[in-house]
Each structure stands twice: as structure tokens, then as C-alpha cells.
Chain A
Amino acid sequence: MTVSAHDNRQRLPAWEAALSHLVLVAGGFFLMIPLAWMLSTSLKSLGTVMSLPPEWIPRTFHWENYADIFRLVPFGRYVWNTVVITLLDVVGKIVSCSLVAFAFARLRWRGREVLFLIMLATMMLPPQVTMIPQFVVFKHMELIDTIVPLVLPNWLGGPFLTFLLRQFFMSIPLDLDDAARIDGASNFGIYWRVVLPLSKPALAAVAIFMFNGSWNDFFGPLIYLHSRDKYTIALGLRSFQDQNYTEWHLLMAASLVAMLPVVLIFFFAQKYFIQGIVFTGVKG
């Protein structure tokens, strides 16, 4: 994302710049309104939610809505369950994808090119095709209503994030590997002490993508988790909606809590988000 060397950005005449700002501000305004609306609703009482015209800034802030969602449903439990699954997914994904990406990017072995193409081809396979037999197998292993079906596949690589890491690993000079080999390093030593330390930005991007995907996953928990005390936030929100479908102030407070970790990560690690999608999107 460096713009210093090849700066294509044109200088615009003043009126065109003003027009651009106008369009961009208007667009940004429309994109931000839903979030403002969510925050505003989450601080209202049931009565003021149903008032016309709506109060954008509630006369009194009902912070207790945020306490209520933890009181009315075991929201704390849902958060904990989601944290456990998400952390296991993120660690598993980083470990497995980086190992596989290392094999595809830095080691020479017969079958590498073919297998890499096969891996890319699996990106087109919609998960719905494999989902039903996977469910059947986990059902026969009596692993339904455990986190195993949600976590285990993430410890076995995955095409998108492996591809992202492989692209990044390819950009590290191979001379470093040869130098380490001459010093007697094993392949694992090269992976651990040469490639991984130089790939922190890409690993961060993988961690963020997986966190996001895992934290928001709905389909997986929906088919695999059935008892209420194992629910993730996504499932909790859904059952909360079914019971309190008109209590929008509580629903919005709960939704906001569900989004908060992603928003926080976004603000603190936007750089890695952007590097990650640029790496898959432009150089792919």
C-alpha cells in the first residue's frame, strides 16, 4: 500500500476537489447512519423506540439496556462460548495454514504444483456440498452439540488463507533459506526462525480474517450446537430475536455488543485488514 514511489494520484482543481468531497461525505454519511441508528436505539426505552419522529439522541440514556441483555438471557455464557471457539479456530488456522503455505511456497517436492492447483480449485466448491456428509459423520461419532465439528476443520488448513500466506511467503527471498540451510538449519528451523518472523503482517491478516469469520459464523453453530448453554453469540441473538422480536432497544444493544470486538480490532489493526485483502485481491 505504499504510495510514495508510484504516486498516480492526480491533483484536482479546487472545484473538482470540493465536488469529490461532497460526494464522498454524502456516501460516508449513508454508510454510517445504520451504525448511529443502532447505537441510538440501544440507549432508548421501549416507549421511545416507538415514537415518531424518532429521537436521534434519547432524552435519557438507558445504559441499563446493556445490563438487561446479560440478565434476560445468558449472554455472558454465549460470549464465553464464542470466545473459546474463536480462539481455537484462530490458533488452528494460523498453525495449519502457515505449515501448508510453507510447503507450497518454500519446499521443492513432487506433486506440489498439482496439489496447489487442486487446492485452488476447492475454493469454488460451495461448503454446502460437503456440509451434509460432514454432519452425518459427526452425528454418527456422537459429536453433535460439541465444538469439535466447528473447530477441527480449522486445524486442517483451508484454501483461502493458505493461498494468502503462500503469496506472502513467496515474496521473501529464497537466499535466506539457502543461507540457513548452509548453517545447518532443518526445514522446520527455516519455517520457524526465518519465514514466520518475517511474515508477521500476513499472519496478523490471517488471524483477523479467521477471527472475523469464526466470531460471526452462523451456519456452523446453527447445525451443530443445540443446547442453549452451548450457544454462541450468533445463536443467542437469533433466539433472543424469536422471543423479543419487538424489543428493538435490547436487540440493538445485543447486536452492538456482538459487533464490538470486530469494530475494535478494525480500528486497531486496519492496516492488517487492508494488507490482507490487497494481498489476495490484487496480487492473486
Chain B
Amino acid sequence: MIPPSSPMRRREERDGWLFASPWLLGFLLFTVGPMIASAFFAFTEYDVLTQPKWVGWANFDKALTDDPKVGQALKVTSIYAGVSVPLQILLGLCVALLLNTQIRGLQFYRTVYYLPSVLSGVAVALLWRWIYAPNFGLINSFLARFDIVGPGWLGDKDWALTSMIGMSLWHVGGGIVIYLAGLQGVPSELYEAVRVDGAGRGAAFWHITLPMITPVLFYNLVIGIITALQIFTQALIMTNGGPHEATLFIVLYLYRNAFQFFKMGYASVLAWILFAYILVLTLLVYRSSGFWVFYAGELKSR
């Protein structure tokens, strides 16, 4: 045991701050400072070139009552997140359950399912634009074989958002890898116990597998929602918010205000609305977790 006031402990105390200093610096310079500035900008009219002009709550009034595009952006973004995240989790879990058996070719399947999920960015957005292209794209040229004229997908206001959601399912593999690891972490004694009790595989799934991996599902739900609400690259490259604002996601609208119209004050308000929205959703999911997330450690530690 090292006494708490020894030179060694004091050195450790000092070095702790020293080692953490890159993040502390980054936190002050790139998080706290900008947050304060952003809160200030929200009450101003500011185009970067001239001095910010104080306008009080005007930006908030406009965003919350006077700008139908904000409502549209929140609606579109919520539908996207609300449909794509649960679908990804459900599909990912199903595949993970299939793989969590003594099936041959586990490595192969895992590679195939995981590969698309590591690809992202403009290249992927371009690929999917081409897949959804109205005349010669992958889907419509396939439908043409059966003399079906497919919709315009990204160019059709009724299909554009659905197309984006469909594309998001290509990235289902990241979750699969996590679920698979979670499934492997379920203590096998539990399975042996229910087997002794004579329970079938269905019962084992509902009473053991599913409860035991709820923490993993919870984590993926939270991260998935936060990520989905910030969708941007696909929107800018594939539809640019159109047609008829059917894919005007909130970050795209924010980007336009900030960097195309140079309305930094208004864009700051949009950023805070997004933050508040993420916070509320995360909190709701977190509050709900008491009802459906089961932590094995709770039994032991409390």
C-alpha cells in the first residue's frame, strides 16, 4: 500500500490532469466555448462577415411557429429514424440468432454481412443513387424484365424517403456483430438450467436469450437513434432534400441555413432544436429501459 500523501501519489495526481489535458483542452476549446457561442448566436442575426445583431427570441419564434420547413424536417427525420432503426435492430437480431448456432461458414457469413456496414460516405451515396436510378438503375432494370415500370424512387416524392430507409438496411451488419458477441456472452449454465427444467427452445429464447441481450439492444437503439437523426451525406448527394422536401432532413436544412444562406443565428437555433430532440428521445428510451432492459449484474449488486 502506498500512503495517500506520498510524493508518488502527488505525482499521480498531477499526471492525471496532464494526461487528460488533450481532452480537457479540446473540451474547452471545441465543446464548451462553442456551446456558449452557439447559445449566444441563437439570439442574433449573424452572417459571419458583419457583427452579430441581437434579435432576442426572434429566431426561436420563427423556427417553432413560423417556418413550416422545420416541422417538415423534424417529421421526415423522425420517420426515417423511427422506421430504419427498429428495422435494422430486428433484422440484425434475426440474422445473429441464425448465426449463433453450430452452422458451417460462420466466418464467411459474418464477413459478407459486415462488409457493407463499414462502407459509407459519398461513394456509397452515389452507388445507391445509381441503384435507384429511374431508367437504367439496378432495381428498375430488373423490374423491366417483368414489364413493370418502377417508380422514380429518389425522384418520386412518395418513394424518396422509403428509398432512403431501404438503403439504410444495407448497414445492418454492424449490429449483427455486436448481437453475436452479446449472444455468446449469455452464461451457458442458464441454458443448461432450463434444459433440466424441460423447457423447449422457444421458452429458452423468451426467458433467457432475449432478456440477457436487452442491454445490447438498448445500446444499439440509443446509438442508432442518435446516428439516424443526424443523416446528412445521403440527403445532400442523393436527393438534395427533394423532391418537394420529402427528404429535407434536419441537418440538411441546418447546413443550408448556415453555409448557403449564412444565417448562422437561425442555424444555431436549429442545432439546439436537434440537440433537445435527441436529448428527449434518449431520455424517453432511457426511462423505458426500466421496463424492458435486464441487467444481470443488478441481481448480484443490489
Tell me, rounded to whole Å, the shortest Cβ–Cβ distance linking B199 to chain A: 14
Give the interface size class of chain B: 35 or more
B193 close to chain A: CB less than 8 A? no
Residues on B with C-beta less than 8 A from A252 are 126-127, 130
9 smallest CB-CB distances across A and B, nearest first, come from A156-B26, A109-B16, A216-B121, A157-B23, A103-B19, A133-B37, A133-B34, A130-B34, A255-B123
Contact A103 to B16, CB < 8 A, known contacts A132-B271, A284-B219 = yes
Q: Write out, one digit per residue, whether chain B residues 216-244 have a CB within 8 A of any chain A CB (1) or not (0).
A: 10011000001001101100110000000
Whether the Cβ atoms of B119 and A277 lie closer than 8 Å is: no
Contact A109 to B12, CB < 8 A, known contacts A12-B101, A41-B130 = yes
19 A-B interface contacts by CB (under 8 A): A6-B186, A8-B191, A11-B102, A24-B98, A24-B103, A28-B113, A37-B138, A99-B22, A103-B17, A122-B27, A122-B31, A129-B268, A130-B34, A136-B48, A187-B11, A212-B118, A252-B126, A255-B122, A262-B118
Number of A interface residues, CB 8 Å?
Answer: 106
Measured between alpha carbons, how far is A109 from B124 in the docked complex, in Å? 45
Measured between alpha carbons, how far is A11 from B191 in the docked complex, in Å? 13
Whether the Cβ atoms of B22 and A96 lie closer than 8 Å is: yes
Interface residues of A (CB under 8 A from B): 1, 3, 6-12, 17, 20-21, 23-24, 27-28, 31-35, 37-38, 41, 49-54, 95-96, 99-100, 102-104, 107-112, 115, 118-119, 122, 124-137, 139, 153, 155-158, 162, 181, 186-188, 191, 212, 215-219, 222-223, 233-234, 237-238, 241, 248, 251-252, 254-256, 258-259, 262-263, 266-267, 270, 273-274, 277-278, 281-282, 284
Neighbour of B251 across the interface among A17, A128, A139, CB < 8 A: A128
B22-72: which residues lie under 8 A (CB-CB) from chain A? 22-27, 29-31, 33-35, 37-38, 41, 48
Whether the Cβ atoms of B181 and A1 lie closer than 8 Å is: yes
Secondary structure type dominating chain B contacts? helix
Whether the Cβ atoms of A158 and B103 lie closer than 8 Å is: no
Tell me, rounded to whole Å, the shortest Cβ–Cβ distance linking A239 to chain B: 10
Contact A8 to B188, CB < 8 A, known contacts A34-B170, A136-B264, A187-B19 = yes
Neighbour of B127 across the interface among A9, A10, A38, A188, CB < 8 A: A38
> What is the chain A residue whose CB lies nearest that of B283?
A124
Measured between alpha carbons, how far is A133 from B40 in the docked complex, in Å? 10
Name 14 extra pairs, CB < 8 A, besides A136-B37, A233-B123, A274-B114.
A1-B181, A6-B187, A100-B19, A108-B13, A124-B282, A126-B271, A132-B267, A212-B120, A238-B122, A252-B126, A256-B123, A258-B122, A281-B178, A281-B219
Q: Which of B12, B114, B121, B219 has the most CB of A within 10 A?
A: B121
Residues on B with C-beta less than 8 A from A255 are 122-124, 126-127
Whether the Cβ atoms of A132 and B16 lie closer than 8 Å is: no
> What is the chain B residue whose CB lies nearest that of A33?
B138
Neighbour of A274 across the interface among B177, B220, B264, CB < 8 A: B177
Residues on A with C-beta less than 8 A from B288 are none
Neighbour of B186 across the interface among A8, A95, A262, A277, CB < 8 A: A8
Tell me, rounded to whole Å, the shortest Cβ–Cβ distance linking A33 to chain B: 7
Contact A104 to B20, CB < 8 A, known contacts A31-B112, A223-B259 = yes
Measured between alpha carbons, how far is A180 from B114 in the docked complex, in Å? 40
Whether the Cβ atoms of A237 and B126 lie closer than 8 Å is: yes
